[in-house]
Structure 1
Amino acid sequence: MYILKNLETREIQKIIFTNFFNDKYSILIDEKLDWKILPDKKKIADLDCQMATVNYGGQNWTAWFTQSLPVPESPYVFNGLPGLIVNISDSQSDYSFSLIKTKEFKKDNLFAVRKVQVISWKDFQKIKTDYYSDPFAEIKARNMKVQSGDEKGNPVPKDLNKLTKQLKKQIRENNNPIELNHKVNYE
């Protein structure tokens, strides 16, 4: 997954790669960021920063931005402040983005993606739910064999039922998306 921003049109897309067959999807991020710029200030590295807060994806975020770099962009989908965001984190401390380095790129379309299917959040939730229900559905439909090798390199078939249970457990344990308002609650 990565974020693609068109700075001219201000369009932001979340590009998502799924499953073994690298299906690519794009979700248009159109949630308006209603920033509240606060008077709090601090120095981060050698940059004078100011605090701002916003609610995005169903959770509250605190950002520190610097006007010494007057770029209204930042990590992930965040943008619109009068300077570059140096650090931003959610109120639960699950996600934190920090500026490490700035670098000028001269090449356009650094992450050009071809053959992307544009979908809605509802469509994406269905894709995730379907995958959770049967992570190997596409492999089964293509009559593909799933196997690994033993210590001597001999093929060993895999038990898809056991692998499915393991994957479902892993999905439930790691179900912490940035956009909590689009979270799928797996049973």
Structure 2
Amino acid sequence: MKFFKILSLFAMPFVMAQQGTRFVYQATLTPDSTNVEKKTELAYLDTDGKKSVFYAENAMKRDSLMERMRTTQNFNREQMQSLRSNLQFTIEKDLTNQSLIYKSRIGRDNYSYSETPTFDWKILPETVKIGDYQTQKAETKFGGRTWYAWFTQEIPLQDGPYKFSGLPGLIVKVQDERGDYSFDLMQTKKIAEIYQPLNRGQVIALPKSKYVEMEKKMQKDPASFFSAQRSSGGGRGPAGGGGGNRPGMDPKQIQEFQKRMEAEIKSKNNPIELK
């Protein structure tokens, strides 16, 4: 098992910064089960001790780039493409009641669902020092996977990367049994405030079951799904959108877009939650 040296800007013992704290995790992912090559990127967990937001580092970079492009009126597609992430979601947690709001885009539109996930943690006797922290191992089943987490009571925060929470201390490392997904704490630092990723357009709240149903429809037939969204005036997609406020693309461009979508969906056949 590979552990990482954690860079900390805090003196021990840990004290939550008044403004906020950013925990920087390295996410190692295998989104495509047919391709053993793992994807690696950084993700941030921002918290003030009462609430937290988990999001990809590239989401912040894309937001910054978009703001700059709006100011300069100079859109660079290559720059935007270089900041694509395999973590295309934001998770906002209420740490008081361990509930969360999951936000992501399906097709042209932004959606969200509320969830209070149940983690039946089994705390194991195994301990190990990871970086500067003494950690203890725990096990749970979630989303069709068995997960192992290493948490530290030196940081008295019942939180962690992705949806994980509920242990008596911050989760320093968590990985699934198959090794498809892992999140490793790399650094902690003070921040002035919790970052809020930009939502381009309205966020439509749904029950989780409806969100999953809609996601499956898009994956099964992206062309029909996008067409239905366009007909209902949703989003700002390649064939127009935004209620007809922007000119559409020609049929060839639409066809190319659909092919890209189908290839992207096919390459993400191993989601973090299998069920």
- TM-score, structure 1 normalization: 0.77
2:106 pairs with one of 2, 9, 18: 18
Tell me: CA distance 1:145–1:74, structure 2 relative to 1, closer, same or farther (3 Å). same
1:37 pairs with one of 123, 128, 136: 123
Deviation at 1:3, TM superposition (A): 0.6
Deviation at 1:131, TM superposition (A): 2.6
Q: Distance in 2 between matches of 1:62 and 1:124?
A: 27
Stretches of structure 1 that go unaligned for 5 or more consecutive residues are 148-156, 182-187
* CA deviation profile, 1:104-136 (whole Å, cap 9, x unmatched): 34435x327774322123212232233331254
* 2:249 aligned residue: 146
Asked if 2 retains the 8 angstrom alpha-carbon contact of 1:35 and 1:53, the reply is yes
Please say if 1:127 is aligned against 2:234.
no
Farther off after superposition, 125-134 or 157-166: 157-166
Q: How does 1:75-114 map to 2 (within 5 A)?
A: 75-107=161-193, 110-111=195-196
Stretches of structure 2 that go unaligned for 5 or more consecutive residues are 1-88, 231-237
Deviation at 1:16, TM superposition (A): 1.1
Amino acid at match of 2:205: V
Deviation at 1:18, TM superposition (A): 3.3
1:118 pairs with one of 193, 205, 208: 205
SS of alignment partner, residue 27 of structure 1 = strand
Higher alpha-carbon Rg: 1
Q: Distance in 1 between matches of 2:129 and 2:96?
A: 31
Tell me: CA distance 1:112–1:174, structure 2 relative to 1, closer, same or farther (3 Å). closer
Asked if 2 retains the 8 angstrom alpha-carbon contact of 1:61 and 1:89, the reply is yes
* 1:177 aligned residue: 271
Please say if 1:168 is aligned against 2:256.
no
Task: With a CA cutoff of 8 Å and minimum separation of 6, indicate the structure with the bigger relative contact order.
Answer: 2
Structural RMSD (CA): 2.5
Please say if 1:56 is aligned against 2:142.
yes
Asked if 1 retains the 8 angstrom alpha-carbon contact of 2:90 and 2:197, the reply is no
Asked if 2 retains the 8 angstrom alpha-carbon contact of 1:136 and 1:160, the reply is no
Q: Distance in 1 between matches of 2:189 and 2:148?
A: 24
Q: Distance in 1 between matches of 2:152 and 2:213?
A: 39
- TM-score, structure 2 normalization: 0.54
Identity %: 33
* 2:19 aligned residue: none
Q: Distance in 2 between matches of 1:92 and 1:46?
A: 27
Please say if 1:46 is aligned against 2:132.
yes
Q: Distance in 1 between matches of 2:153 and 2:160?
A: 13
Deviation at 1:56, TM superposition (A): 1.1
Q: Distance in 2 between matches of 1:166 and 1:117?
A: 25
* CA deviation profile, 1:64-114 (whole Å, cap 9, x unmatched): 111111211111111111111110011121111111122234435x32777
SS of alignment partner, residue 113 of structure 2 = strand
Q: Distance in 1 between matches of 2:133 and 2:187?
A: 12
